[in-house]
Structure 1
Amino acid sequence: MSQVLTKSPKHCSAKQGLILDKRYKKLFFALSTFFTTLLALVFLLWLILHPSKPQFSLEEADIYQLSLSAPHLLNSSVQLTLLSKNPNKKVGIYYDQIQVYAAYKGQQITVDTSLPPYYQGHEDTNLLTASLVGTGLPVAPSFGYQVGRDQAVGKLVLNLKVNGRLRWKIGTWVSGPYRFNVNCVAVMDFGPTLPTGPLTSKQGTQCSTTV
C-alpha cells in the first residue's frame, strides 16, 4: 500500500510568507541603495557646483542735488555706477529683477529705479549705471540737522541699495528664483561750503551681498 504525502495548508502558507519576506527585503535593499546613490550624487554635484554669490563694487557715486523744498520734503538726484561680477567658473546668473535706491541715515532719499534684466556668464563682469531721483520725498524732521552736522564734520556717508531676484544656470538646468540684496557705502567729502560741482565718491569699494 503506497503512501501519499501531502503538505498542510499551514505549511504552504508559511513557505509563501518566507518567499514574500525575501522579496520585500530585496526590494527594500534595492530602493535603499538607489536613493543612497542618488543622494550621494546630488551632494557631490552640490559640492562641485555650489554657486558663490555675485560680487558688486562701487565704481562711482555723484550727488547732484540734496535739498529740502519744504521743512520735511526732499529733492534729490544721484548718479550711480556699479561693477557686477559672477565669480563662478561653471555657473551662470540670470538677473530677473533689479531695483536700486539711495539711503541716508536709514532713510530712503530716492525712489526705486528698475534696471533691465540680464544674463551674466561664467566669471563675467557687467557695468551698471543708474540715475536715482526723488521729488518731494518725505523725510524725518531731523534730516536737515543731520546733513548740517555731516557738513560740519566734512564727510557725508550714503548707502546705495540694490534689491532683486536671480536664478542660477548650471548647464541646461536653471534654478528657481532667489532674492538678493546689495549694500554699498559711499563716503564723500562734504566741506563747510557747498561745492559748485556734485559730491563725488570714486573709491571702488566692495559692497556687501546676501542671497
Structure 2
Amino acid sequence: METDEPLICLPGQRLSILDNKHVSGSGTYGRQGYIYSMLAGIVKVVEKDETEIIEVHCSNEQTLVPAPGDIVTAKVILINQRFCKCIIKCIGDVVLNRTYRGILRKEDVRANEKDKVDMYKSFRPGDIILARVMPITEVHTFHLTTAENELGVAIALSSNGVPMVPISWTEMQCPETLVKEFRKVAKVVPENINSLTQ
C-alpha cells in the first residue's frame, strides 16, 4: 500500500486486503477479507513487527458510521407490507452529525412467528425505534433488525401527538384518550435499574 501521499477516504470505502500482514486498526473494520473505513479521514499505515495496521484518522470531529452489531436509534419515515424505511440518528449514546438510511424488513421484526408479522401493527411513521445493525449487504443502506426483546418501538406518539405508554409486548396506549395501538414494543431497561430495586 502506497503511503507517500496522504490518502483521503470516505466511510465504507475499501482500503486494503485483510490477511495476516494487513490488520484492521482504529477507524476501520474488516469484512469478507477486506478492510473498510468507518470514518471520513486520512488513511495511516502503522508497521508493527511483520504486519501493517490500517487506521483512519480525522482531522476534525469524527464521523461515526453504523457497524454490524451496533444498537442504533432510528426514526421510521415510510412503511409498507414488506419493510419500513428509517433514518438512523444515534449509534448507542452518540448523536450522529449526519443521518444514515436504514431498512427494516418484515422477516427481521421478530425472532419467532416471522410469517405472522404485520408491518402496520408493528411500526408507524414517526415512531422512534431501537434496532441492531445487521451485516452490510448494500453500500448506501443499513439493514436493521428488532428481533430481540430490548429492540422495537421506544417512543410513539398517538394521533393526538401525546407520547404513548407501553402496556404489553404488542400494544401501546394513549394516556389521555386511552386508545390502544399495536406496536412491536421495545423492552427499555432504565439505566438506574439497580437503584430502583434497592
User: Above 0.5 in TM-score?
Assistant: no
Range class of TM-score, shorter chain: under 0.3
Structure showing greater radius of gyration is 1
Select the structure with the greater relative contact order (CA < 8 A; seq sep ≥ 6).
Answer: 1
> How does the TM-score come out when normalised to structure 1?
0.21
> How does the TM-score come out when normalised to structure 2?
0.22
Structure showing the higher strand proportion among its residues: 1
